[in-house]
Structure 1
Amino acid sequence: MSAEEVLVHREGRAGLIVLNRPKALNALTHGMVRRIARALDDWEHDPAVATVVITGAGERGLCAGGDIVAIHRAASGGDQGAAEEFWRDEYHLNARIARYPKPYVAVMDGIVMGGGVGVSAHGSVRIVTERTRIALPETGIGFVPDVGGTYLLALAPGELGTHLALTAGSVGAADALLCGLADHHVPAERLPALLDDLAERPVHDALERHVAAAPPGPLAGQRGWIDRCYAAGSVEEILDRLGDSGEPEAKAAADRIAANSPSAVKATLAALRRARALGPLEAVLDQEYRISCAALATPDLAEGIRAQVIDKDRSPRWHPATLAEVEDAVVARYFAPLGERELGLAATTPLERW
């Protein structure tokens, strides 16, 4: 990792972490994950640091996710062990953030996707702006939401999380607040002043000077058909209900789901339903690690990244190509135990949040 990919310094009472790959929309490399973890370790018992703040360099967003090109190499016959080790450290970091004993303030301005959600939405104070677009778009690349994404989406009201996961959709500030992915809206123009105040004041005192109402979002008005359609027991039935609802937005959602990897969509629905019964974040991260490792052996992950990121032809050739061809055994393989390779986070004792 270049020493400049993560900037770590202290301003007053705040420890600042700045993701610094603006040309790559601050996408996370393995080295960046490790650097963030070291900063959290250093600051946990440092009395001079009362608050941790994470932001992204540049004007486009906090973080576009993990290093997807490296994942593509692993899924295309490269070093799968390197990808698994990256996920292991990344998921440990996600859990660490969720249990961090000091306020962890995530400034989720602009684009926040995939791994970017993992280093922000598990924080204790999550701030969005009118420029925010949050997404867990994994089903569109033949993958399943990870970094604790299925945990967060399973906790969203009603079936909003299922809708976002299966469609690989994104949300703005108001809908992020509605779905429980964020806590406060601050106008983007006020972020510099907020950061200044966080360096000098307790988090609550700083926030109350800058928080404002978010611009309206569409999901609150769509809860009726979303909850009704996505409560179905299978992806096929969900698509039938969406098609029969008579709502144009529901038809558009069905089209988006149908364009995503059939295997990933079915595995994602199963993962969300299981996450609701698993309990703490650590148990869900253990499940996501099994799923992620299994996905490396599927053709859809490499093909999805190729189509969406590498060649950008937006025409993935999924295998199997249809939902009907995705047998129960295909989905079950995503959840197969890993033996000695298990993540094992659920065996640890969670600390109380601050």
Structure 2
Amino acid sequence: MDSIAQDPQPAPGTEEVLHVRTGAVARIILNRPRAINALTLPMIEAISALLNTWADDTSVQTVTIEGAGERGLCAGGDVVAARREALAGTDHMAFFAAEYAMNSRLASYPKPVVAFMDGIVMGGGVGVAAFARQRLVTERSKVAMPETIIGFFPDVGAMYLLSRAPGELGTHLALTGATVRGGDAIATGLADRQIDSGQWPELLNALADGGPLPPVGDTAPSSELSDQRSWIDECYAGDDAAAIVRRLENHPNEQARGAGEILRQRSPLSVAVTLEGLRRAATMETVQEVLDQDLQIADHLVTKGDFAEGVRAQLVDKDRSPKWKHARLEDVTRDEVIAAFG
């Protein structure tokens, strides 16, 4: 995108994060475009260091988070590396601990953060954007937490927001990992406003001049997901994942049945643990509480769940044929779910 061509400098420790000061705005630019800016541990450490540097800099009024290239802000975290560490018996939690600490820092940052959620924003990409003060989607945005297909769960604090979405919209997104456009992201609380992607330079100039974001864009674009609230709220109610999938499969609505088919493809253990985590997150008061829970769940699913197999099937061998520990959601016991929470 044009906004990178303003003499950005590599962050300390990696060239995969750039930073540049433009007037009153300090910009973080994720710079791994061939991987849709997927986060590595050095990138996370660099982002955290920049946030710490600018927190007490009185000349910085706003921080922005952007992605290099045209494909998206960030496609997620480097789960292939996390899987490799886990299989090798080394510190597989270093990545997640650093990532969740960065998410916490963003959620409590003392200055306004503006996230440009253009293009693909998934997994860890939601983590760097969803707790910003202003979260801007565009006509090109594709937002998702697709972790249950890799034997994981919607982490990076996302369950704090998804558990607070209207009705059961957040439950639908968390369990299926469905990808949504800008209007749905706003409707579910993952974004604030939809702008035209070409308006970003104009908004950057306003921030550089020390002003607030101009009132451009739409805070309530149409949401296809909201139009489906009747079957979503009906089917996803309750705490029993197996009952949810059966309601979906037997529903007269075609989209509901399609969601049921999707859930049958996901890791049964991950779906059941995600539902439990989501219900618990709804009772938590802070993002930090949810991130603490995320750390516990992550360690359990990486070491005792379907994470290694899911990442293998989707991202390593790419055969899309995972062999989950359980054949069906009905086979996951309550004790196995509770074990993920310590």
**Considering the TM-score relative to the shorter chain, is it more than 0.5?**
yes
- 1:246 matched to 2:256? The reply is no
Which 5+ residue runs of structure 2 have no aligned equivalent? Answer: 1-11
> How far apart are the structure 2 equivalents of 1:136 and 1:283?
19
Aligned pair partner of 1:70 in 81, 87, 96: 81
Is residue 256 of structure 1 aligned with residue 262 of structure 2?
yes
Distance 1:78 1:16, change over 3 A: same
- Runs of 5+ consecutive residues of structure 1 not aligned to the other structure: 337-354
Q: Which residue of 2 aligns with 1:30?
A: 41
Question: What are the within-5 Å matches in structure 2 for residues 221-300 of structure 1?
Answer: 221-300=227-306
Specify the code of the residue in structure 1 equivalent to 2:37. Answer: N
Greater shift in the superposed pair: 194-203 or 31-40: 194-203
Partner of 1:317: 323
Cα distance in 2 between the residues matched to 1:149 and 1:139: 13
- Confirm or deny that 1:94 pairs with 2:103: yes
Equivalences, count: 331
The Cα offsets for residues 80-134 of structure 1, whole Å up to 9 and x where unpaired, read as 41x2122111111111101111100000000011111111101111000010011
| CA apart distance, 1:313 | 1.3
After TM superposition, list the pairs within 5 Å mapping 1:95-114 onto structure 2. 95-114=104-123
Q: Normalising by the residue count of structure 2, what TM-score does the alignment of the two structures yield? A: 0.93
Matches within 5 A, 1:1-354: 3-75=14-86, 77-81=87-91, 83-203=92-212, 206-208=213-215, 210-212=216-218, 216-336=222-342
Deviations 1:230-258 (A, max 9, x none): 01331111112212321111011000011
Label 1:269 to 1:299 Cα distance change in 2 as closer, same or farther (>3 A).
Answer: closer
Structure 2 counterpart of 1:350: none
Structure 1 equivalent of residue 5 of structure 2: none
After the TM superposition, list the runs of 4 or more consecutive aligned residues in structure 1 that deviate by more than 6 angstroms: none
Deviation digits for residues 302-322 of structure 1 (CA, Å, limit 9, x no counterpart): 111111111111111111222
CA-CA distance at 1:327 after TM superposition: 1.5
**Alpha-carbon distance in structure 2 between the residues aligned to 1:246 and 1:187:** 37
Residues 1:227 and 1:299: Cα distance change in structure 2 (over 3 Å) = closer
**Counterpart residue identity of residue 17, structure 1:** I
Output the aligned Cα RMSD: 1.4
The C-alpha deviation readout for 1:199-251, integer Å capped at 9, x for no partner, is: 11422xx331x324665331111011111110133111111221232111101
Residues 61 and 194 (structure 1 numbering): CA distance in 2 closer, same or farther, change over 3 Å? Answer: same
Give the conservation status (yes or no) of the 8 Å contact 2:147–2:154. yes
Q: Distance in 2 between matches of 1:307 and 1:89?
A: 26
Of all paired residues, the percent bearing the same amino acid is: 48
Do the aligned partners of 2:241 and 2:272 also contact (CA within 8 Å) in 1? Answer: yes
- Kindly state the Cα deviation for residue 48 of structure 1 after the two structures are TM-superposed: 1.0
**Any idea what SS the aligned residue of 1:123 has?**
coil
